Amino acid sequence: MNSFSNKLASVVSSRKGSITIIVIWLAAIIALTLIAPSAKQTAQSSQEASIYNNTPSATAKMLAEKGFPSDDGLTALLVFHNEAEITDKQLEAIRSISQWLASDEKPQQIASAVPFHQFPLNVQKQFYSEDNTTIMLNAALQKDLESGDIHNALEELRSHIEGGELAGLQFEITGPAGIASDTIALFSNADLILLFATIGLILIILIVIYRSPLLSVIPLIIAGAVYQVTDRLIGLAAQNGLIIVDKQALSIMMILLFAVLTDYCLFILSRYREELRKLGSKHDAMNITMSRLSEPILFSGATIFAAVLVLFLAVFQAYHYFAPVFSIAVAVILLGGLTLIPAVFTLVGRKAFWPFVPKLGAQKKEKLGYWSRIGAFVTKRPAVVASVMIVLLLGASWNASKINFSFNLLKSFPEELSSRQGFELMEEHFPKGKLAPVTVILKSKNPIELSEPFIDKLDKLAVQLQQTAGISELSPAITPQLANDAQPLPRNFLSEHEPMLKLQLTLKDHPYEKEALAVVKQLREDSAKLLKDSGFDPALYSLHFAGQTAEQLDVRDMNQRDTLIIFSVITLIIAIMLIFQAKSIAVALAMMGTMLLSYAAALGISWTIFSTFFSYDAVSYRLPVYSFVFLIALGVDYNIMLVSRVLEESKHHSWNEAIASAVAKTGGVISSAGTILAATFCVLMTQPLQELFLFGFIMAVGILLDTFVIRAMLLPSLLAWLIKR
């Protein structure tokens, strides 16, 4: 490793080498810009589904689509609401809208709509809420529409309805199509806002830290160059079908890229300035700088890279599709940190620090600054400091066990969005279970004949289903009369294409809550018994459950599985890499332990704030995985920088003196880097999704804990205490 560090340092610090590196980067930017699309052009939203599409709910959905094919695509739920009971004038307005939806004047992307206007009054009453204040109609869009077409169709629909006579009705569009349309509207300008906010914030912080125009701008120019290469490489890979790009991953990737590259600039500049005061040649100063820092930067980038690679083991799309985006990004970031940053600052030299140019021999007199006092304090009483810090962090971590998780991602949308308002109106005025009924598929290996013995068995099955705890009703009603030709079969009851039939269960509880998930889980587990007790042979018949509740049950199971694997494998891999880097099992375990404790404490502190000050009763189930991957991966940076400096100082000083000196010399740069990283993730709090807001908040809390508590006090005190033991 020393040989590699020295060779790399020699290349990036020479005039010829630095110019060559910059030319190569510029050529790569130009070539990729010409041949590759932007990553955003190829991005898509990951679904709440398995990458293999083999979950029980996915199987049930495929069976339903095969047995009951339809040309309809996503459904838009049109919700009309009045504070009091809907009046005759308002009812007439809704009939007029229904008539327009059945005409050729409706948006061409709408395939069908419920013919509400054609129904007699007693049938129309079935579309009312129980308090007669709300009516819900549904319209189906054409299959396989692009997201832009969905948004345009619903905007045209909304414009027509709101431009007509609504007679005082509140009108909202929700359902899968409404949610898809609102998602597009939410993020139409979000990426640009995120980019400019990130650049502006980093620029301000760099000006405050360095008070130098060049040192404030050059890191952003370098980050912009690396971002351009990263963006086009991701776009090129996606264009050729090598990866799938997730839209949300791109937003977080941009934050990560600018923040980490700025951190690397701070680490390099801090040491470069130190060496420029000792050496007359800017090339020699950068040579020494990179010979000392290339190894920790390499280990730092490698651990982040290893952490994001673990996401490939996930089966849940939202996690798995983060892996390719961040793998490419981290690889390019690492390459930029090892080559482009030192090459640029080698050429600029001392001028980069203007007006505070470091002069040869102008060493600062040693004085007892803040970080020097911290270093002396933690090494004087390491056991006391470590014990107090651990107790406090464990107390904060305990609150993490109290977090409630929500599987209703619509709650992450802003309250003013139509899709959320429409859904909440439905929650308030319709029975909870009707928001998302459960579809039951009874599949047979042999053709189904509606004979009286078969209907008797089906009737027994229906009775068992209705008697299951948590079920409010079953449709259609199953009676032996179905075997009689005198009674017509319910629509979409028996498949014309496959040996299967379809029933619908309405749950008593909210379809996204844990009680509803428990009902569907129990039905799955008891399916063979239900069939057997009804007289069906489980070897010939099978039960399948589809719908939102069944899908969320699979999401919960996938999330639990992926969480266990991701947490375990990342912890193991990073611990092994730290052992090689620190050359000590005890030191590596201390580093890993502090990162895990910091993560748990960040979750606990954040939940306390969310529940106490923001009045949240639950947060997205995805937050623990997202925050774990990035807090652990990024926390390694500061661990490695501190321990590397301790090991370097220990060659010339006693162990305690080395720790105190390392804290004093790295405290300023690590605190600056941590502040920038935390502030950059705070930019995510400007985003419209609650999930991104909460993720940015947790990351900021965790990074600040890492910077000012873990790396400043807990880890140094543990290192000092370990040697004494």
Q: What 8-state DSSP symbol labels residue 683?
A: G
53: left (phi over 0), alpha (psi -120 to 50) or beta: left
DSSP 108-126: TTEEEE--GGGS-HHHHGG
**Is residue 359 domain-shared with residue 378, that is, in the same domain?**
no
pLDDT in the model for residue 363? 60
Chain centroid to CA 46: 10
Beta-bridge partners for 172: 79
Distance (Å, whole) CA 178 – CA 157? 11
CA distance from start to end of the chain: 30
- Looking at residue 710, the DSSP 8-state letter turns out to be I
The two structure tokens encoding residue 399: 């609150």
Do 447 and 67 meet the contact criterion of CB atoms below 8 Å apart? no
Give me the sign of the Cα torsion angle 544, 550, 553, 559: positive
Indicate if 227 and 177 belong to the same structural domain. no
pLDDT computed for residue 490 by the predictor: 61
Residue 135 has pLDDT above 90, yes or no: yes
Cα–Cα dist 305/320, whole Å: 14
How would residue 512 be classed by pLDDT, with cut points 50, 70 and 90?
Answer: confident
Summarised one tens digit per residue, pLDDT across range 644-668 is: 888 888 888 888 889 999 998 888 8
Q: How many domains does the chain have?
A: 4
Looking at 14-49, list the stretches that DSSP marks H as alpha helix, in order from N- to C-terminal side: 15-35, 39-42
3-state secondary structure of 543: strand
pLDDT at residue 532 is higher than 70:
yes
Question: Which of 546, 570, 588 marks a domain boundary?
Answer: 546
Contacts with 184 (C-beta within 8 Å, 6 or more apart), sequence order: 147, 148, 150, 151
Q: Among candidates 496, 283, 487, 386, which has minimal Cα distance to 720?
A: 386
User: Measured between alpha carbons, how far is 536 from 454 in angstroms, rounded to an integer?
Assistant: 9
Any domain includes 51: no
Structure token digits, residue 713: 């006090």
Give the C-alpha separation, 29 to 31, whole Å: 6
For residues 245 and 692, what is the distance between their CA atoms, to the nearest angstrom? 18
Question: Where a domain ends, among 160, 186, 212?
Answer: 186
pLDDT, residue 669, reads 87
pLDDT at 268 over 50: yes
Does 491 have pLDDT greater than 70? no
Note whether 564 and 687 are same-domain residues: yes
Q: Rounded to whole angstroms, what are the CA distances from 591 to 357, 504, 641?
A: 36, 54, 12
Question: Is-contact 22 336, C-beta < 8 A?
Answer: no
Q: How many degrees, rounded to 5, is the angle at CA 522 between CA 517 and CA 524?
A: 95
**pLDDT for position 299:** 86
CATH (domain of 723): 1.20.1640.10
429 occurs within a structural domain = no
- Asked whether residue 615 falls in the same domain as residue 706, the answer is yes
Same domain, residue pair 526 and 638 = no
Reply yes or no on whether the pLDDT at 640 is more than 80.
yes
- Do residue 205 and residue 331 come from a single domain? yes
DSSP code of 359?
Answer: P
* Angle, alpha carbons 700-392-642 (nearest 5°): 60
Q: Give residue 668's pLDDT.
A: 86
Quote the pLDDT of residue 486.
45
Residue 562 resides in a domain = yes
Do 284 and 272 contact (CB within 8 A), yes or no? no
Percent of the chain surpassing pLDDT 70: 96
Angle between helices 213-239 and 247-276 (to 10 degrees): 140
Best CA proximity match to 459, nearest among 440, 445, 479? 479
Contacts of 16 (CB under 8 A, 6+ apart): none
336 inside domain: yes
Band (pLDDT 50/70/90 cuts) for residue 366 is very low
If asked whether residues 124 and 103 sit together in one domain, one would say yes
Q: What does R_g of the chain's alpha carbons equal in angstroms?
A: 31
With bands split at pLDDT 50, 70 and 90, how would you rate the model's confidence at 145?
Answer: confident
244 and 356 assigned to the same domain: yes
pLDDT in tens, 181-232: 888 877 766 777 888 888 898 999 889 888 899 999 999 999 999 999 999 9
Range(s) of the domain holding residue 114 = 71-186
Token digits for 582? 């620190």
Classify residue 532: in a domain, yes or no.
yes
Distance CA 674, CA 682 (A): 12
Give the CA distances from residue 472 to residues 192, 433, 459, 507, 516, in Å, rounded to whole numbers and listed in that order.
48, 8, 17, 5, 12
Measured CA to CA, the distance from residue 63 to residue 57 in angstroms comes to 10
In the predicted structure, residue 711 carries a pLDDT above the cut 80: yes
> 104 in a domain, yes or no?
yes
**What contacts 664, CB < 8 A, 6 or more positions away?**
369, 371, 372, 374, 375
CA-CA distances (angstroms) from residue 110 to 65, 141, 149, 155, 184?
Answer: 19, 4, 10, 12, 18
Average pLDDT over residues 475-504: 71
Q: Do residues 404 and 464 share a domain? A: no
Q: Are residues 288 and 165 in the same domain?
A: no
User: Each residue of 534-565: pLDDT tens digit?
Assistant: 999 999 999 999 999 999 999 999 999 999 99
**Does 56 map to a domain?**
no
Residue 604 has pLDDT above 70, yes or no: yes
Query: Which 3 state secondary structure label does DSSP give 83?
Result: coil
Reading the block at residue 394, the tokens are: 């464990």
3-state secondary structure of 78: strand
Encode pLDDT of 451-478 as tens digits.
Answer: 888 989 999 999 999 999 999 888 886 6
Same domain, 23 and 95: no
Task: Return the H-helix or E-strand segment holding 172.
Answer: strand 170-174
Query: Could you read off the pLDDT of 71-115 as tens digits, one per residue?
Result: 888 899 999 999 999 999 999 999 999 999 999 999 999 999 999
pLDDT tens for 3-45 read: 778 899 999 999 999 999 999 999 999 999 999 999 988 888 8
The answer to whether residue 593 sits within a structural domain is yes
**Average pLDDT score over residue span 390-400:** 94
Q: What is the CATH number of the domain that holds 173?
A: 3.30.70
- pLDDT band at residue 337, thresholds of 50, 70 and 90? very high
Q: pLDDT class for 328, splitting at 50, 70, 90?
A: very high
In terms of domains, do 279 and 373 share one?
no
Instruction: Tell me the sheet residues that pair with 113.
Output: 139
For helices 322-335 and 213-239, angle between their N-to-C axes, nearest 10 degrees: 140
Q: How many other C-beta atoms lie within 10 A of the C-beta of residue 275?
A: 18
- Confidence at residue 239, expressed as pLDDT on a 0 to 100 scale: 94
pLDDT at 421 over 80: yes
Distance between CA atoms of residues 193 and 678, nearest Å: 18
Domain closes at, from 186, 201, 235? 186
Token output for 426: 């439905």
Q: 490, 522 in Cβ contact below 8 A? A: no
Across the range 420-428, mean pLDDT stands at 91
Query: Please, which pLDDT band fits residue 144 given cuts at 50, 70 and 90?
Result: confident
CB 418 within 8 A of CB 174: yes
Mean pLDDT of all residues in 411-420? 87
Q: What is the mean pLDDT of residues 133-152?
A: 90
Which are the contacts of 113, defined by CB distance < 8 A and separation ≥ 6? 98, 101, 102, 106, 137, 138, 139, 140
pLDDT in tens, 345-361: 999 999 988 888 888 77
Q: Where are the alpha helices (DSSP H) in 187-243?
A: 190-210, 213-239
How confident is the model at residue 481, as a pLDDT? 52
Question: For position 354, what pLDDT does the model report?
Answer: 87
